Structure 1
């Protein structure tokens, strides 16, 4: 059989190389974050609940993405600084914002010029959990239940008291306003720069009570250093089965639970969003990760970018009504 002409061999080799190049290009397009460094912005200090959650996820995400994943804390103004950082980041998926409801749904409603518009500047990548906020009392108080706390404030403080909140003009602050009105108390919300400094003051008995997420309180509640006495949401939390909801205590209207999600700068390619979302879904399916986040007080479940966007819009609408009812004026 005659051998192939020399030009055919060259053409065949060229075709093979072209196919290989095409395959590699397609792989790079399908896995745009592989081999890169991905920053997860967190809008609160290290040591708080959101920071701890981000670090749990980052550890496993690096394997699924084939990328270096780091947590970068940008504390200040209830996550506002981190959100502003995301807005100006390159839309290539290497800078993402891991946030709960406050920075995305609440801040734009309570700050006149937040410096970002989630609907314009961000795109939802994926959600990974819902959670509830909780009311806790310091170990230095005699209260072991919410009704005990109300009675203690009325007797020991003459009806006056300070309640720590992780950020000004936040869901916890609005909850303090509603509690004060319902129970005829003169409560002042004391804003902190995140849950970590608030927790430090609670553990040091510098402030008698605080409102924050269950992940903020769960470990110190289990150790008896403070007591979670009520939770928001429609049902009791699996991590805190003995703690009643506010609805059980007669304070309805706080059943819509907040969310945790990851957001990217607007204009980030869909292939990049899809790669991260798929990696996050795989991470959440790992029993070790799922169980660890559940123990922190989260209800774990993957949400697509579309589902997270819908969840964010619904939650924003719910709190728009509550914020308006309190008479709050954006600052």
Structure 2
């Protein structure tokens, strides 16, 4: 049988290699659907706040693990409600996710009559990466070094005071209400559009105290520009060993700590969810990232989508009881 001409053998080899390459690319695309894409991380608060800073730390490393362009898009307003609505409207292909803490996912649907989204049906949990605690902080010009000093100072001024909170009808606002009742003070929660503007007023001594997450306060606490004097949670924080818990101060019931997680639109393919979750697990295991997040006041640890979903449901149930006890009526 005559052999094929050399050019025919060469063309056959090229065609075979092209077929193999195409098959390999197809397999990669199917197994890694986000690779080569642009992935947008929605953040429901302004630049400069704790959540924004966390998102940018993660985005920088996620781009390498995903092999994708990763951008952070801030959609501030209504305590993350606008960002959550944007997630619901996004294509369910994994290229848009929402990095959020407890407020937007667990609290907003309980305090707003028509939030424009339902986490149970509109979202799917991708992965969790940390828990944290909220703290009570004093502005630099506020007298006293402890929470009890603050209580005594407010009483000496007639028992009235304003406390900043990063969003209306939030865990910090409910905490202000409970503190007022516990210590028989007339405290009013002053809501802001995120932690950054609240922090600006605290640093300018425009408001005497504020309640927000430890990541929001920790840099200014370390520099002495403000003072965290009490934290929620069941134990003191490793980053704040000298700051007591509210339970130590006699205010129990706030031991269930909030979470940080990533959520995607319902219907997002499992392959995309798994790829993002695996990439996030690798990112937070990197010493530089892990240490940075820990320094920001987070307790870092990966949760699968299923674990994040369970954590979110448990936290929602805990705060449903507290919100009901305050007599709050959804607005």
Map Cα deviations across residues 112-157 of structure 1 (whole Å, 9 max, x no partner).
000000011000011000000000011101121000000000002x
Shift of 1:237: 0.3
Map Cα deviations across residues 205-261 of structure 1 (whole Å, 9 max, x no partner).
000000000000000000111000000000000110000000000000000000000
Q: Distance in 2 between matches of 1:214 and 1:45?
A: 17
Q: Distance in 2 between matches of 1:23 and 1:140?
A: 63
Shift of 1:18: 8.0
Q: Give the SS at the match of 2:80.
A: helix
Map Cα deviations across residues 73-96 of structure 1 (whole Å, 9 max, x no partner).
000000000000000001111111
Q: Give the SS at the match of 1:300.
A: strand
Q: Distance in 2 between matches of 1:213 and 1:102?
A: 11
Q: Distance in 2 between matches of 1:171 and 1:91?
A: 30
Q: Distance in 1 between matches of 2:26 and 2:213?
A: 44
Q: 1:81 aligns to what?
A: 82
Shift of 1:16: 3.7
Q: Distance in 2 between matches of 1:240 and 1:124?
A: 30
Q: Give the 5 Å matches for 1:1-331.
A: 3=3, 16=16, 20-156=21-157, 158-331=158-331
Change (3 A) 1:15 1:314: farther
Q: Distance in 2 between matches of 1:21 and 1:40?
A: 30
Q: Distance in 2 between matches of 1:242 and 1:281?
A: 31
Shift of 1:23: 2.3
Q: Give the SS at the match of 1:127.
A: strand
Shift of 1:26: 1.1
Q: Distance in 2 between matches of 1:26 and 1:259?
A: 35
Q: Distance in 2 between matches of 1:230 and 1:287?
A: 29
Q: Which stretch of structure 1 is more off in the superposition, 131-140 or 31-40?
A: 31-40
Q: Distance in 1 between matches of 2:142 and 2:225?
A: 11
Q: Distance in 2 between matches of 1:66 and 1:303?
A: 22
Aligned residue pairs total 330
Change (3 A) 1:278 1:184: same
Map Cα deviations across residues 148-175 of structure 1 (whole Å, 9 max, x no partner).
000000002x000000000000000000
Q: Distance in 2 between matches of 1:6 and 1:141?
A: 88
Q: Distance in 2 between matches of 1:161 and 1:194?
A: 20
Shift of 1:22: 2.6
Q: Distance in 2 between matches of 1:46 and 1:320?
A: 30
Q: Give the TM-score, by structure 1 length.
A: 0.96
Q: Which stretch of structure 1 is more off in the superposition, 200-209 or 21-30?
A: 21-30
Shift of 1:31: 1.1
In structure 1, stretches of 5+ residues that fail to align are none
Q: Give the SS at the match of 2:71.
A: strand
Q: Distance in 2 between matches of 1:280 and 1:27?
A: 19
List, as ranges, runs of 4+ consecutive aligned residues in structure 1 with deviation greater than 6 Å: 4-12
Shift of 1:100: 0.2
Shift of 1:36: 1.2
Q: Distance in 2 between matches of 1:215 and 1:12?
A: 61
Q: Distance in 2 between matches of 1:191 and 1:321?
A: 22
In structure 2, stretches of 5+ residues that fail to align are none
Shift of 1:197: 0.2
Map Cα deviations across residues 177-214 of structure 1 (whole Å, 9 max, x no partner).
10000000000000000000000000000000000000
Q: Give the TM-score, by structure 2 length.
A: 0.96
Q: Distance in 1 between matches of 2:39 and 2:11?
A: 41
Q: Distance in 1 between matches of 2:121 and 2:17?
A: 43
Q: Distance in 2 between matches of 1:289 and 1:11?
A: 49
